[in-house]
């Protein structure tokens, strides 16, 4: 079975440029020229990845992404935007996008992102990749997290953040490091997105357990460790 990628892009020239390039690389593609049709296609078929323009007729990319996330949390979404500002990035991440590509871009940049995404979701990996701290376990291949044997559902962004914390366990991580590593933004905008996501994670992995794993170091950042 081939890898199927849905392209939602109203500019016909850009859509066919992406489609052609991907097909030459051996991917199967489908194209939607407005947000509403794109959303319907995304929800009615299984795609391995979605490339989504922000400015679309009928329904914009942020809304489409939210709808997709409401129905299928795991399909990777790469957003295309002419706007590269922090605010737009935050809005997109808030809507559940996994990454951004700012227009104009070269096809090889797009292809590199596509390959990274598909590798992340490729389950045919021989070696099991597991990160562990106390009774918290993250399976990097299956993209699952469990604590004390209990399965925990995380969004793509929460998973990325927890993976970063787990890879740096017992080390204080500053908000600036998290902003740069996970959101690819500079931490100077007074945004509280990191605190918000940390509290999402706390609710999911620490709530209800007597020993907490996520700790705040006031004025310094966060640390994942056994208390
Ligand atoms: Ca557009």
Output the pLDDT for position 124: 42
The mean predicted confidence, pLDDT, of the chain is 88
Residues 197-226, mean pLDDT to the nearest whole number: 94
Could you tell me the distance, in angstroms and rounded to a whole number, from the CA of residue 83 to the centre of ligand 1? 11
Give 57 Cα–ligand 1 centroid separation in angstroms.
8
- For residues 54 and 98, which has the higher predicted lDDT (pLDDT)? 54
Cα(9) to ligand 1 centroid in Å equals 6
* Residues 182-205, mean pLDDT to the nearest whole number: 85
Please list all protein residues whose beta carbon sits less than 5 angstroms from ligand 1, which is an ion.
Answer: 10, 53, 55
pLDDT confidence band for 219 (50 / 70 / 90)? confident
Percent of the chain with pLDDT over 70: 91
Q: Which residue has the higher pLDDT, 120 or 114?
A: 114
- What pLDDT, on the 0 to 100 scale, is given for residue 83? 66
CA 87 to chain CA mean position, Å: 17
């Amino acid at each position: 079975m081939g890898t199927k990628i849905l392209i939602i892009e109203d500019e016909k020239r850009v859509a066919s440029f992406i489609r052609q390039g991907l097909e030459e690389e051996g991917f199967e593609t489908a194209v939607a020229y407005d947000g509403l049709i794109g959303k319907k296609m995304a929800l009615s078929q299984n795609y391995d990845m979605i490339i989504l323009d922000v400015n679309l007729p009928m329904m914009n990319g942020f809304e489409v992404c939210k709808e997709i996330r409401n129905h299928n949390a795991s399909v990777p979404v790469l957003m295309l935007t002419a706007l590269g500002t922090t605010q737009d990035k935050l809005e997109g991440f808030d809507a559940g996008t996994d990454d951004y590509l700012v227009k104009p871009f070269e096809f090889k940049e797009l292809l590199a992102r596509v390959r990274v995404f598909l590798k992340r979701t490729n389950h045919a990996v021989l070696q099991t990749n597991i990160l562990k701290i106390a009774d918290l376990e993250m399976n990097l291949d299956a993209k699952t997290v469990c604590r004390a044997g209990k399965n925990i559902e995380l969004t793509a962004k929460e998973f990325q953040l927890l993976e970063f914390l787990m890879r740096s366990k017992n080390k204080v991580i500053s908000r600036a490091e998290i902003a740069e590593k996970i959101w690819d933004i500079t931490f100077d905008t007074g945004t509280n997105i990191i605190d918000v996501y940390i509290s999402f994670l706390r609710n999911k992995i620490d709530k209800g357990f007597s020993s907490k794993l996520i700790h705040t170091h006031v004025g310094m950042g966060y640390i994942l460790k056994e208390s």
